[in-house]
Amino acid sequence: SYSTDRKSREENKTTVESLYRLSVDVKKIRRLKEWVLLQDVAYANELAATLKEMGADETTVASILERCPEAILHTPAEIEAQRALWQSVCQNEKQLIALIEQFPESFFTTKHHENQKANILYFQELGLKNNIITRFLTSAPTVFSNPVEKNKSVIETLRRSYLSLGGSDANMKIWILKLLSQNPFVLLNTSTTIQENLEFLQKNHFTDCEVLQLLSKLKGFIFQLTPVTMGQSMLFSKNVFKCSDRELKQLVLKCPALLYYSAPVLEERLEGLRKEGISVEQIRETPTVLELTTQIVQYRVRKLSALGYDVKRGTLDSLSGTKKDFEASYGKIRAKKERPIFNPVAPLPIED
């Protein structure tokens, strides 16, 4: 831990001068992380030399130090160890320096170096490709802070759960690797949480096959929920759509967002749709529209209305879906609107 007592400490002049020579915006560091400048020992010049050796130019070095000034407090030995570790999963140093520039905080988290090393080896043995592991390192660094035994325990729970739900041995590894690549944060859960959430679905009469279907559709995010929040979301949907338990289950399978989003979020989105003149019956017919934020719904309704398409009539298929899905539907509607009533190149009928 570093001292932050400003009254009893003064800025390290050597550090400040070194940063100025490296074209670093020292005022920015004073404003955001002044405590870094108060430390007795820092390695600004040594770190800059290492980054340049890896291919970084002066502008890149300055950018890295401004965004993550605490990096200069790590010893050259710590930086070299981290460099070697990340190189083991990067294609080359050009890719490595690009990652450091984009995610400096992740690279300079050296506190759990041994855990990082053990987890990288474990993920490689598991079959995860290096490009996926680098994505983990940058976007989910906390996963690597875990002791490798913790991550192994979660993977083992997922493996047992998949097999107990009727998944096959042949597909189990592929399923786990896909789940991890889609959502590495599943590893931050406990084995107990995973088991409780699966039991909740089974108690609500989802078959083993349907539970597997939900796990795949939700990309593992279901493990970041709790039985309480899932229960509240399902109760909200049941009351809004006035449906039976069987009908509710079919709605959830059709739109897992009814399980994933909290009741307040679902209520807000439902009200946004109703303000656009869309009925509850229409939403029940196409519940996937609840996956969209109110802002996206308003934008899409305006675009469709400009073409003369009234979303208050018929289904909401043209409104829902991903951005790519919507653009495809919008394009078809526009093309149909612009199509001439008659074919100008068709031969005219001539009487004999």
According to the model, what pLDDT value does residue 7 have? 43
Number of domains the chain is built from: 1
On whether residue 40 sits in a domain, the answer given is: yes
What average pLDDT is seen over the chain? 89
Task: From 132, 124, 123, 186, select the one nearest 154 (Cα to Cα).
Answer: 186
pLDDT recorded at residue 345: 57
Q: Give domain status of residue 305, yes or no.
A: no
- 5: confidence class by pLDDT, cuts 50, 70, 90: very low
**Residue 38 carries which DSSP code?**
G
The DSSP 8-state label assigned to residue 277 in this structure reads T
The pair phi, psi for residue 265, each rounded to 5°, is: -65, -45
Start-to-end C-alpha separation, the chain: 99
Instruction: Judge whether 212 and 165 are in contact, CB under 8 Å.
Output: yes
pLDDT tens sequence across 192-235? 888 999 999 999 999 999 999 898 888 878 888 899 999 999 99
Q: For residue range 235-279, list pLDDT tens digits in order.
A: 999 999 999 999 999 999 999 999 999 999 999 999 999 999 999
- What's the pTM value of the predicted model, to 2 decimals? 0.76
Q: Is residue 39 part of a domain?
A: yes
Question: The domain containing residue 77 runs over which residues?
Answer: 11-109
Residue 20 lies in a domain: yes
- Assess if residue 35 is contained within a domain: yes
Give a yes or no: residue 119 inside a domain.
no
Enter the tokens of residue 48. Answer: 């800059």
- 44 occurs within a structural domain: yes
pLDDT in tens, 39-91: 999 999 999 999 999 999 999 999 999 999 999 999 999 999 999 999 999 99
Is the residue at 43 inside a domain? yes
